[in-house]
């Protein structure tokens, strides 16, 4: 009887196993779009540990769901001329912080909220994080005072780096004019546009040039009062701008007016000592309201050179050990190309490709060499110094911007904020994302080419960065991301002066039926540095800029059956999304 039960048991087990094999086949080895078969199975997605250089900037990370855009059917190129981009959809480099697409507002860019065109564009762009109140002007900014009413201990003249005196030129947070914005208007702009986060740079210079008995305490109190007024609307704060710079208010002071024994020239060690006073006051203020804030310290971002000041040369070696971990994150700024140099397109785009990695390696090495702990890195100002050929307002600047963001994500920065939203025309040597109204043939608030590249890059960017392998022409650069909903984004950039056709293949991914893309390219004006951009053939009749209807331009689309092949324009980009099965 036992023998019969055993035979029956094993017979039933065999039937069950066969049934399981039938209903649960082995993992599929998917065909790659465009032919060829991947030799690996689709792998489950595993997020890596959060990088120390990103840290809390991922706290407000959000999963993204791809929305199929309206599209028009497009014809694909017949071949890719041997250019291949292979994406591995299951190998996650990092989750993408929402703070990576930030921008800088400033005090001189009108009240903002009374400018309908600007408010429409900044709402559509959705950078998420907007820095305030400016760069160097932050060290002259009294956030809570009416225009022209400086504190009694703020001198009317400040000392320049060469020892001469000049009018202080303070900025104020309570203003009422038609050409500048105040503190409340900054908050209103963020709220009304849906850009819910900010970076606030408080006035550190006041701790140096203030003439009270304890200028550091006075400046720290001013900062803490701003934290109280902010009441949790802003998580990220900076103490000072480029405080090591001889162009910054407070770098050199009149010691005859100083009452707490500070040296004439600022040092990294002194900045760190002051930082701890500021941070203590600001954190106390935040704790009173039950809010959490993060406070950043300024670090110098590149190897120093012989001609630079002693302050710069000794900044990191003296600041980092004295700081002793009192900061929550480190702040870097970089303008990528040589100062006041008429750089060509190749040099500009090569800088976008290489500088973020070099800077990250340098800064993290400096922190470790001088006894610090790696903390999140925020690139709160970036752009280019190239000038002379209208590079800053050109289509090439848009390609540059796309690459800077791609490289910033890949090199695991926690935050990046482009300088800036509005500046001054200066014959095209203008960092502004929008025209200031003095550009010939272009109205105020008309978006520059960089706006369009950044808009479409963010529009199709997923929530996790994945690796790419590029084979073929070295002019092609690529960045890829995945959506939590399963689709894939691939951004192709062409840094060469001729169009290039590329085929995309994807590992560890079951493609759906279609893919979608937007193609961006410059015009025929101004040589290499066209001031125009077109998106899927939609351009502008103005002397510069791009299409007014950018938010409703239909994507181009094709079925995946015959592979994913795209032509990337010269000095242009194609930003795509690929359906999942």
Instruction: Say if residue 524 is exposed, middle or buried (CB neighbours under 10 Å; 0-12, 13-18, 19+).
Output: exposed
pLDDT at residue 11 above 50?
A: no
- pLDDT value at position 42? 76
pLDDT tens digits, 405-420:
999 999 999 999 999 9
pTM above threshold 0.75: yes
- pLDDT value at position 45? 85
pLDDT at residue 47 above 80?
A: yes
In whole angstroms, what is the distance from residue 239 CA to residue 241 CA?
7
Instruction: Say if residue 228 is exposed, middle or buried (CB neighbours under 10 Å; 0-12, 13-18, 19+).
Output: middle
Output the CA torsion 465→466→470→474 (10° steps).
20
pLDDT tens digits, 109-120:
999 999 999 999
- pLDDT value at position 12? 36
Give the percent of the chain with pLDDT over 90.
92
| CB atoms closer than 10 angstroms to residue 384 | 25
Question: Span 264-284, mean pLDDT?
Answer: 98
In whole angstroms, what is the distance from residue 215 CA to residue 212 CA?
5
- pLDDT value at position 18? 35
Quickly list H helices, 206-309: 206-209, 215-230, 268-288
Mean confidence (pLDDT) of the chain: 93
- pLDDT value at position 41? 63
- pLDDT value at position 16? 34
- pLDDT value at position 488? 98
Q: 360: which residues sit within 8 A by CB, 6+ positions away?
A: 53, 377, 411, 412, 413
Query: Between vectors from CA 402 to CA 399 and to CA 405, what angle results, nearest 5°?
Result: 150
In the 8-state DSSP scheme, what is residue 3? H
- pLDDT value at position 73? 98
pLDDT tens digits, 322-361:
999 999 999 999 999 999 999 999 999 999 999 999 999 9
pLDDT tens digits, 66-100:
999 999 999 999 999 999 999 999 999 999 999 99
In whole angstroms, what is the distance from residue 474 CA to residue 457 CA?
21
Question: Span 535-557, mean pLDDT?
Answer: 98
In whole angstroms, what is the distance from residue 509 CA to residue 577 CA?
13
Question: Span 177-195, mean pLDDT?
Answer: 97
pLDDT at residue 130 above 80?
A: yes
pLDDT at residue 106 above 50?
A: yes
In the 8-state DSSP scheme, what is residue 139? G
Asked if omega into 420 is within 30° of 0 (cis), the reply is yes
pLDDT at residue 7 above 90?
A: no
Give the percent of the chain with pLDDT over 70.
93
Query: What domains are defined for the chain?
Result: 21-128+382-581 (3.20.20.80), 134-181+196-327 (no CATH)
pLDDT at residue 153 above 50?
A: yes
User: Residue 218's closest CA among 155, 157, 135?
Assistant: 155
């Amino acid at each position: 009887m036992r023998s019969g039960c055993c035979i029956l048991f094993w017979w039933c087990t065999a039937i069950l196993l066969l049934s399981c094999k039938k209903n649960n086949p082995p993992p599929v080895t998917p065909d790659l779009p465009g032919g060829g078969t991947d030799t690996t199975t689709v792998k489950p997605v595993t997020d890596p540990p959060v990088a120390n250089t990103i840290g809390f900037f991922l706290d407000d990370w959000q999963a993204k769901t791809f929305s199929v855009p309206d599209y028009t059917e497009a014809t694909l190129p017949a071949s890719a001329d041997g250019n291949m981009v292979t994406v591995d959809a299951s190998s996650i480099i990092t989750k993408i912080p929402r703070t990576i697409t930030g921008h800088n507002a400033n005090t001189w860019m009108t009240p903002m909220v009374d400018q309908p065109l600007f408010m429409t564009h900044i709402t559509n762009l959705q950078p998420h994080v907007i820095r305030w109140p400016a760069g160097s002007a932050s060290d002259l900014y009294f956030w809570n005072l009416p225009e022209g009413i400086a504190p009694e201990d703020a001198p009317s003249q400040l000392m320049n780096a060469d020892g001469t005196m000049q009018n202080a030129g303070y900025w104020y947070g309570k203003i009422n004019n038609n050409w500048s914005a105040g503190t409340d208007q900054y908050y209103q702009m963020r709220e009304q546009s849906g850009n819910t986060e900010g970076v606030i740079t408080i006035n550190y210079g006041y701790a140096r040039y203030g003439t009270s008995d304890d200028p550091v305490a006075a400046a720290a109190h001013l900062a803490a009062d701003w934290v109280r007024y902010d009441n949790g609307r802003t998580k990220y704060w900076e103490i000072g701008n480029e405080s090591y710079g001889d162009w910054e208010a407070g770098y050199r002071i009149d010691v005859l007016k100083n009452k707490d024994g500070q040296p004439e020239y600022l040092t990294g060690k002194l900045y760190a000592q002051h930082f701890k006073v500021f941070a203590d006051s600001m954190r106390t203020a935040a704790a009173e309201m039950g809010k959490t804030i993060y406070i950043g310290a300024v670090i110098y971002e590149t190897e120093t050179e012989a001609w630079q000041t002693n302050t710069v040369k000794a900044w990191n070696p003296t600041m980092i050990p004295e700081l002793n971990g009192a900061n929550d994150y480190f702040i870097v700024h970089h303008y990528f190309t040589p100062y006041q140099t008429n750089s060509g397109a190749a040099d500009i785009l090569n800088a976008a490709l290489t500088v973020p990695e070099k800077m990250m390696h340098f800064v993290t090495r400096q922190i470790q060499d001088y006894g610090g702990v790696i903390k999140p890195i925020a690139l709160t100002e970036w752009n280019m110094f190239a000038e002379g050929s209208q590079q800053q307002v050109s289509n090439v600047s848009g390609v540059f911007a796309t690459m800077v963001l791609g490289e910033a994500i890949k090199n695991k920065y926690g935050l990046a904020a482009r300088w800036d939203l509005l500046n001054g025309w200066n014959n095209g040597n203008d960092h502004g994302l929008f025209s200031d109204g003095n550009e010939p043939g272009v109205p105020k608030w008309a978006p520059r080419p960089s706006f369009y590249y950044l808009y479409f890059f963010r529009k199709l960017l997923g929530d996790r960065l994945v690796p790419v392998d590029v084979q073929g022409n070295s002019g092609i650069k690529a960045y890829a991301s995945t959506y939590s909903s399963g689709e894939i984004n691939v951004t192709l950039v062409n840094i060469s002066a001729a169009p290039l056709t590329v085929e995309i293949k994807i590992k560890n991914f079951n493609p759906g039926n279609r893919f979608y893309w937007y193609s961006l390219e410059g015009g025929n004006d101004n040589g290499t540095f066209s001031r125009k951009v077109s998106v899927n053939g939609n351009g502008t009749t103005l002397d510069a800029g791009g299409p007014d209807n950018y938010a409703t331009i239909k994507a181009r689309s094709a079925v995946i059956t015959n592979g994913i092949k795209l032509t990337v324009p010269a000095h242009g980009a194609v930003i795509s999304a690929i359906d999942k099965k």
